Amino acid sequence: MRVVLGLRSTVWLLVSLLVAPVVSAAPSDVPLPAPSVDFAPAVFANMRDRYGSDETAVLRSAIVAAVLRATQGLTVPDAATVTVTVRDIAPSHPTRRQQAADPAGDPTRTKFIGGADLAGEVRDAHGHVLVNIMYRYYPLTLGMASPSIDPWADARLAIDQFAAKLAAACRRISAGASPAA
């Protein structure tokens, strides 16, 4: 079987063969990786002593899920890393450990001013900071607090808002603009 290519097809074939190595040699952009989540020493001690060590995994999972959800479809330079640091956190309702320590307390009627203070960095393969985000959210009054009975309701609001700010900064990086723009 003999294949006959027209002039136009031959030109497109040659162009694609010449351009392919150039495109693949360019630094590749990849989806934002899952963040590593660290707790400041004082926060870690509070989690262990007041709220319960098991709550650390709950919050870590919430942060990872929120960041991945907010940054879905975004790309960053290959080998970039994301680190989120929980600088402060407080529950909106008693945690399981707090409920166990005070069984007479009503977990749905007992409310605290909860929230979180988070910091995040995206670094490239050489360790240069591409994005640096800080976000803090605590409602001003109990009336402004989340109506949810989840112990970490207001912290989850802070986490979701932090993730949205991180995604916005990463979008600016992907577009070639300054992250502070």
Residues 131-156: tens digit of each pLDDT: 999 999 999 999 999 999 999 999 99
36-39/81-90 β-pairing: parallel
Tokens of 144: 């402004």
Q: Where are the beta strands (DSSP E) in 50-151?
A: 75-77, 81-90, 115-123, 129-137
The pLDDT score that the predictor gives to residue 108 is: 87
Residue ranges of the chain with per-residue pLDDT less than 50: 1, 3, 5, 7, 10-27, 181
Distance CA 166, CA 121 (A): 9
36-39/115-123 β-pairing: unpaired
81-90/115-123 β-pairing: antiparallel
Burial 52-88 (b: 16+ CB within 10 A, else e): beebbebbbebbbebbbebbeebbbbeebbbebbbbb
If we measure between CA atoms, which residue out of 173, 177, 178, 5 comes closest to residue 76?
Answer: 173
The pLDDT score that the predictor gives to residue 13 is: 44
Entry pTM? 0.80
The pLDDT score that the predictor gives to residue 8 is: 52
Distance CA 91, CA 80 (A): 32
SS3 call for 64: helix
